[in-house]
Amino acid sequence: MLEDLKKKLVSSLEFIYPDLDSSFLANELIQTMGLDQQCQNPKDHQNNWDESETLLITYADSIHNTAAATTEKPLVTLYNFLQGHLKETISSVHILPYFPYSSDDGFSVMDYLAVNESHGDWEDIERIANEFTFMSDLVINHMSARSRWFDNFKKRIDPGKDYFYEGNPQDDLSAVVRPRTSPLLNPVTTEDGERFVWCTFSEDQVDLNFENPKVLLEFVNIVKHYLDHGVKIFRLDAVAFLWKKAGTPSIHLQETHEIIKLFRVLIEHHSPDAVIITETNVPNRENLTYFGNANEAHVIYNFSLPPLLIYSLISGDCRHLKTWLMSMPPAQMGTTYLNFIASHDGVGLRPTDGLLAEEEKNQMVSTMLQFGGQMTYRRSREGTDKPYEMNISLYDAMKGTIAQGEDKWQLQRYLCAHAIMMALEGIPAFYIHSLFGTENDYARMENTGRARSINRSQWDISELEDQIENKFSHHSKVFSRMNELIAIRKKQSAFHPNATQFTLHLGLQIFGFWRQSMRRDQSIFCINNISNEVQDIALSDINLIGTDDWVDLLSGLKVDDLAGSLTLAPYQTVWLSNR
């Protein structure tokens, strides 16, 4: 088994580091992961999930206890909330970077091996990991400019001397794909004089240099550390930008894909039930490449879903959503999609390239601004600033429509969006604020000076529980209905992440698709009115099988007359199942 493992590692290492001894480096990687002591044999195309899989996305301190007498750390508060309110709903928990950091709410990591002491400690992480499948960020592209490694870089000593990527201002960097408008190269004074470090995202987030194999070994050691503390899902943050090369776009380079393969091989030989998820907020066709040949990411984010679904619901037109869904290849066994419609970041617009016209994007942006949202920009290759990300809470994004502005259908539109997301091929992921219908947080945004903070609220546990218990609060209505939808979804074999999916054609105001279980013992027709008007559908257009008994899982309504019609209220969803 070790020889087969080594062959796989050497195959990638020879491409990444053609001038190094790949066999020697492979042995170092194996020893660092402890695979020379214990190595498991992963099965090809193994699904480490089923229809009961649901993922929660949260910061360590999204919920905290501000009671004057308490010294409770946020990770303890979070654990108590999960146990008290979400134990039957959520199976996996993604806690966004919980390490010491200097900026970007955690994504500028100062120490990968420590837990931010203001949040808690490793025991708190392990307590959550013992109850839920635990997902951790591996912030692999960049590190804080205030880290020990970067201090050593400036001092020109190890570890850190050659850990960060240096650029030359004289090089042609015009082709580099930028997600920000900040300078790509930043001057730094070191013991050897001025150096220019590569900063894809910000001056405080300095890109790491994977051309140095010591950096690769450091991160393999970090991965082993996380596995030892109960991490089972690894989110490779901003991994598309990992390998840089002057004169190229410096995104999606083959070296990056080979490094992902390396991590996949090492992780699954340590823990066959562990999973890699790549975070690549890019156009859809580029995103799909991170599956590789079922040998890179186990799971990729469905980044095109949030903007397309928002556009469909505020325009009342699902043609682009249908076109996209028809173009999505079924994921191979052992791989799947992560479906989400809200996260700690804003709603990216690059994943709509080739899917929405510029005029349609502009209409959506204008509407989000009208609903209180903000906009961040990126620097294009032409040197102009283009809209990159819509910053708005999902609840406020559902306030109304492009044509008519705010209306009375916000709650129904919001729940419809989640019902669609839950039913699609893949694993559903819920940003914690989506469970409560949290609104735009203008105070937090003003306090931090960052647009993304509008959707990064922090709830006091007492206030949150009061809102959940108040049946007249929209927070309570959202939380209650979301839990009901998830509970129903988790019981349906046709909603397995790899179950068959086909797109239905029922007009522009009805978004529909069909799911069939892998055992073919259940079919569900997911029919969604994405408009603010009542819609009637002839049941003959859905092609329900006459010998089966059909029932709407959400309302309990039985469908007896297949020659009749189905009437849907604005933003109503039905899940017609034959069992």
The closest alpha carbon to 427, from 91, 128, 131, belongs to 91
How far apart are the C-alpha atoms of 417 and 413, rounded to whole Å? 6
Is residue 5 within 8 A of residue 269, CB to CB? The reply is yes
Q: How many CA atoms lie within 13 A of 47 on its CB side?
A: 17
- At which residue do the structure tokens 């947080």 appear? 441
The closest alpha carbon to 275, from 211, 325, 335, belongs to 335
Tell me the H-state helices in 437-519. Answer: 442-448, 461-469, 474-489
Q: Kindly name the residue from 237, 396, 441, 552 that is annotated as catalytic.
A: 237
Inter-axis angle of helices 410-423 and 474-489, to 10 degrees?
Answer: 20
Q: How many CA atoms lie within 13 A of 326 on its CB side?
A: 12
Give the E-state strand segments of 330-451 in sequence order: 336-339, 347-348, 374-379, 385-391, 400-401, 405-406, 427-431
The closest alpha carbon to 539, from 572, 504, 509, belongs to 504
Inter-axis angle of helices 74-81 and 122-131, to 10 degrees?
Answer: 10
How far apart are the C-alpha atoms of 566 and 568, rounded to whole Å? 6
- At which residue do the structure tokens 């306090």 appear? 447
Whole-Å CA distances, 524 to 325, 493, 553, 559: 17, 10, 9, 13
How far apart are the C-alpha atoms of 492 and 332, rounded to whole Å? 20
Question: At a CB cut-off of 8 Å and minimum separation 6, what does 533 contact?
Answer: 316, 509, 570
How far apart are the C-alpha atoms of 555 and 577, rounded to whole Å? 12
Clarify whether 237 is annotated catalytic. Answer: yes
- At which residue do the structure tokens 């699609």 appear? 424
Whole-Å CA distances, 404 to 207, 316, 367, 371, 373: 45, 11, 10, 12, 17
The closest alpha carbon to 5, from 269, 291, 223, belongs to 269
Q: What are phi and psi of 390, to 5 degrees?
A: -90, 120
The closest alpha carbon to 241, from 188, 165, 297, 293, belongs to 165
Is residue 75 within 8 A of residue 128, CB to CB? The reply is yes
Active site residues: 237
